Amino acid sequence: MKNIVLLGATGSIGDSCLNVIRQNKEDFHLLGIGLDSNLDKAYKVAKEFRPEHIFVAQSDLDKSHDLLDLYPNILSTEDELQGLIQHPNVDIVISAISGFAGLQASYFAIDAGKTVLIANKESIVAAGDILMPLAETKNSKIIPVDSEHNAIHQCLPQHRDLSEISKIIITASGGPFREKTFQDLSKVSLQDALKHPTWSMGTKITIDSATLVNKCLELIEAHYLFQIPESQIEIVVHPQSIIHSMVTFIDGSTIAQMSNPNMEVPIANALGLENRLPINFEPIHFSGLNLSFEPISDGREVIFDIAREVCNKKGNLGVIFNAANEVAVDAFVNKNIHFVDIYQVIQRTFDCFSCSKVSTLDDVFEYDKQARIKAEKVIKSLH
């Protein structure tokens, strides 16, 4: 029986994690959950799974909520979060917190040598120079949960001999605007951007999929997770979202991981560690199956150029790229900028900074703060 702490328990990834745990109750115990503010959903999770500990990021809790009757000692401070994650009884930490906000929790888990199932790509993008060496020092196992990176994880051999790899191919659905020209993007609305053709996800990652910034973040994350040069990582549009990633080896063989779009599949693989967990899934019907592949749409190349620069120079550039995107997406969701402006905010913010080394988590937080201030100034200049 493995003890799990699930962070981001009330989000879409959290839902999928709970479904996998629900189907494998004899193997896993939900020791603790973490969430931002959705107390109603947390109450339902708590009633079903009865975790020993609940962490809520919002300090001004509604004291009359039923959740506080069940759990009068809700955890809410950073020290309490660290204590929960680093508790000696915790075997697996699932980091499913959206965005940069997940970085501190990822650091706590890795620093304690935990097995970390990471669905929070932003923490690797922003602080890969710190987290990956720390994982090696602390003997922390990082297993990716994102469908693309988990697919790569499954395709690579156990011994991970990088000299055998010719290239990694990460697939992209293309999002809702795959067939639109870059000029057409000036007319799209928030509602248009939130209509993802194959996945049901949270707002931020859905917008990232529409801009294709999500694939930039995944390129950087793959570079860090698998220690692969960006020149050996290719992004290809695959509208059916059946093949999640592929690895081509130096003998010409390409191994692909395939499944119908369902986040429970990579989560089950990650949670099973070296074993396969049974879950309910929709099988692929190969007769009549048509798979197609396309290059990235014209006009989006600039953000991929930035992502590749992040991989090559590292340092503070990942946190700046991520922060600029998060500020831009937030501005778009709040209807302060147009969809196409997201690209300009990222590029102009990124161009304001030179590459500098990051040595501590404090460095990362400081550059994140500076990049957000600069991105807000860029947004104001657009009006």
Look up the CATH number of the domain holding residue 91. Answer: 3.40.50.720
Residue 300 clears pLDDT 90, i.e. is over it:
no
Say if residues 151 and 257 touch (Cβ distance below 8 Å).
yes
Q: How far apart are CA 190 and CA 56, in angstroms?
A: 29
Q: How far apart are CA 319 and CA 311, in angstroms?
A: 12
Residue type for position 53? H
Q: Is residue 49 part of a domain?
A: yes
Backbone angles phi, psi at 235, to 5 degrees: -110, 130
Residue 342 clears pLDDT 70, i.e. is over it:
yes
- Enumerate long-range contacts of 193-197, CB under 8 Å, 24 or more apart: 193/332, 193/339, 197/173, 197/239
353-362 pLDDT per residue, tens: 999 999 999 9
Beta sheet of 28-35, edge-to-edge order: 53-56, 28-35, 2-7, 92-95, 115-118, 142-144
Q: How far apart are CA 205 and CA 243, in angstroms?
A: 19
Q: Is residue 25 part of a domain?
A: yes
Tokens describing residue 344: 């300009």
Say if residues 2 and 92 touch (Cβ distance below 8 Å).
yes
Q: Is residue 53 part of a domain?
A: yes
Residue 159 clears pLDDT 80, i.e. is over it:
no
Number of domains composing the chain: 1
34-77 pLDDT per residue, tens: 998 899 999 999 999 999 999 998 877 777 899 988 888 899 99
Q: What confidence category does residue 200 fall into, taking pLDDT thresholds of 50, 70 and 90? A: low
Predicted confidence at residue 279, as pLDDT, reads: 95
C-alpha triplet 378, 381, 383: angle, nearest 5°: 125
SS3 (DSSP) at 159:
coil
Q: Is residue 119 part of a domain?
A: yes
Mean pLDDT calculated for residue range 174-192: 86
Q: How far apart are CA 314 and CA 126, in angstroms?
A: 9
Q: Is residue 275 part of a domain?
A: no
Q: Is residue 100 part of a domain?
A: yes
The number of angstroms, rounded, from the C-alpha of 163 to the middle of its chain's C-alpha atoms is 27
Residue 198 clears pLDDT 70, i.e. is over it:
no
Predicted confidence at residue 368, as pLDDT, reads: 96
Share of the chain above pLDDT 90, in %: 77
Q: Is residue 286 part of a domain?
A: no
Report how far apart, in Å, the C-alpha atoms of 326 and of each of 105, 207, 304, 333, 357 are.
Answer: 18, 10, 16, 11, 22
Q: Chain-wide mean pLDDT for the chain?
A: 93
Q: What confidence category does residue 328 fall into, taking pLDDT thresholds of 50, 70 and 90? A: very high
249-261 pLDDT per residue, tens: 999 999 999 999 9
Residue where the block lists tokens 């090559």: 312
Q: What confidence category does residue 331 fall into, taking pLDDT thresholds of 50, 70 and 90? A: very high
Q: How far apart are CA 308 and CA 302, in angstroms?
A: 10
Q: How far apart are CA 370 and CA 125, in angstroms?
A: 17
Q: Is the pTM of this model over 0.85?
A: yes
Q: What confidence category does residue 16 fall into, taking pLDDT thresholds of 50, 70 and 90? A: very high
Residue type for position 277? L
Q: Is residue 35 part of a domain?
A: yes
Tokens describing residue 377: 């100034």
Tokens describing residue 138: 């602390």
Q: How far apart are CA 246 and CA 220, in angstroms?
A: 16
Q: How far apart are CA 365 and CA 306, in angstroms?
A: 20
Residue numbers of the domain that contains 48: 2-144
Tell me which residue of 69, 78, 139 sits closest to 108, measured CA to CA: 78
269-290 pLDDT per residue, tens: 999 988 899 999 999 999 989 9
Residue 120 clears pLDDT 90, i.e. is over it:
no
